[in-house]
Amino acid sequence: MHKYALGLDFGTESLRVVLMDLDTGEQFTTKSRYRWGVMDEYLKDKVQLPEDWALQDAEDYLQAMGEAIPQVLKLADITSDSVVSIGIAFTAIYIRTACICEAVETSWCKGRDSYHQ
């Protein structure tokens, strides 16, 4: 069974994902745009932001992982149990390991985070 590394790049407007076969170097990629993106005038509940503010909705990150990770696994025709490594790049966000593990659903995650059940 081949082993794969999963890379997640959380950008300003979208999540970009790369999955690489560690034996062959073959790569599979996909991306998922955030629903709300950058909110620089109003929050999603229509609350006006002060001038020069820009915020993002953390739920966008979870939604994007829920879309992009299954897509890239399907492109490679593998299950999440073949993923042995996860790398994360981001701009000023914090995501608990449990959130990543919920999206990937792999046995590697069990016991890695006190929040994961």
The domain 4-109 is classified under which CATH number: 3.30.1300.10, 1.20.59.20, 3.30.465.10, 3.30.420.40?
3.30.420.40
Q: What is the mean pLDDT of residues 6-23?
A: 94
Residues whose CB falls within 8 Å of the CB of residue 81, separated by 6 or more in sequence, listed in order: 106, 107
List, edge to edge, every strand of the sheet that includes 27-33.
27-33, 14-21, 4-10, 83-90
Residue 30's identity, in one-letter code, is T
pTM of the predicted model, to two decimals? 0.73
Residue 111 has pLDDT above 90, yes or no: no
Q: Where are the beta strands (DSSP E) in the chain?
A: 4-10, 14-21, 27-33, 83-90
Q: How confident is the model at residue 28 (pLDDT cuts 50, 70, 90)?
A: very high
Residue 73 has pLDDT above 80, yes or no: yes
